[in-house]
Amino acid sequence: MEIDKAIGIFDSGVGGLTVMKEVIKELPFEDIIYFGDIARTPYGSKSKETVTKYAREIVHFLSSQGVKIIVVACNTVTSFALETLRQEFRLPIIGVIKPGVKKAVEIAGNKRVGVIGTEGTILSGAYQREIKSIQPSVEIISISCPLFVPIVEEGWIDTEVSNLVASEYLAPLKTKKIDTLILGCTHYPMLKKVIQKVIGDGVKLVDSATQVAIETKDVLSKNGLIRESNRKATHKFYVSDLPPKFKELAKRFLGEEIREVIKIDMSEFVK
């Protein structure tokens, strides 16, 4: 039955596990299938065409596993490919941008919102468009921070290096006196403490993970697809590559050990 199917969540790598963590909290009885495209990570510096191609292959894979909804737990994919995926596939697909933007606009009201993300996310203008469509009077200052992802993956979370890099990237946002800052990349919540310290306590940080989980619940609920029963849920993890450090890295993002990971060959899902 449709209701018994899993939630599919995917990302270019491990960042989407921060979203999965919130989805588990919000929907503890749902099965989840996570896919991380470790063989081709990161997406943030790649072209729209390539990222869309990869995303399409992953949605084909998740569909082949039988899922009732898909959560795109990656800002770059949401920026470049969400509309295309929605046109090409028939199941509900949730992105990470709209939920975060809704919350940010709610908090900021009429004022100045900062957005940070990968090069792809920022260049795409997706956040800027989404914010303007809800609240045209908001002033938006957006900046790409390419070094944040490798710093998080290196585990240099609260170090002199992360503080210095954050100071460099966030300087223009401080000058512009933003009041709200959207963390437009699923890796960035790991740097929340450092970003808050650099940008100042007066600025509210918004990450979309919790909002995405709530939105997922809403959409499932509207479609009558929520499993209410008090059953034990299963969580499955698939990756396209399994380098030595994967489990250690994944644990930092999910907050718990991943016992079993299955590596699959994505060339089967090229269409």
Q: Which residues bind a copy of itself (CB under 8 A)?
A: 38-40, 45-47, 49-50, 119-120, 123, 146-147, 149-151, 153-154, 156, 160-161, 164-165, 168, 240-245, 267, 270
Q: Compute the least distance from the CB of residue 154 to a copy of itself, in Å.
A: 5
Determine whether 74 is an active site residue: yes
> Looking at beta carbons only, is 180 or 240 nearer to a copy of itself?
240
Q: Compute the least distance from the CB of residue 171 to a copy of itself, in Å.
A: 13
Q: Which of 24, 71, 72, 74 is catalytic?
A: 74
> Looking at beta carbons only, is 79 or 211 nearer to a copy of itself?
79
> Looking at beta carbons only, is 83 or 168 nearer to a copy of itself?
168
DSSP symbols for the chain: -GGGSEEEEEESSSTTHHHHHHHHHH-TTS-EEEEE-TTT---TTS-HHHHHHHHHHHHHHHHHT-EEEEEE--HHHHHHHHHHHHHH--S-EE-SHHHHHHHHHHHHTTSEEEEEE-HHHHHHTHHHHHHHHH-TT-EEEEEE-TTHHHHHHHT-TTSHHHHHHHHHHHHHHHHTT-SEEEEESTTGGGGHHHHHHHH-TTSEEEESHHHHHHHHHHHHHHTT----S-PPP-EEEEES---TTHHHHHHHHHSS----EEE--GGGG--
Q: Compute the least distance from the CB of residue 6 to a copy of itself, in Å.
A: 26
β-pair partners for 94? 71
> Looking at beta carbons only, is 49 or 158 nearer to a copy of itself?
49
> Looking at beta carbons only, is 139 or 168 nearer to a copy of itself?
168
Q: Compute the least distance from the CB of residue 69 to a copy of itself, in Å.
A: 28
Q: Which of 32, 131, 185, 209 is catalytic?
A: 185
Q: Compute the least distance from the CB of residue 164 to a copy of itself, in Å.
A: 6
Alpha-carbon separation of residue 171 from 97, 99, 151, 168, 253 (angstroms): 24, 26, 18, 6, 27
Residues classed as catalytic: 74, 185
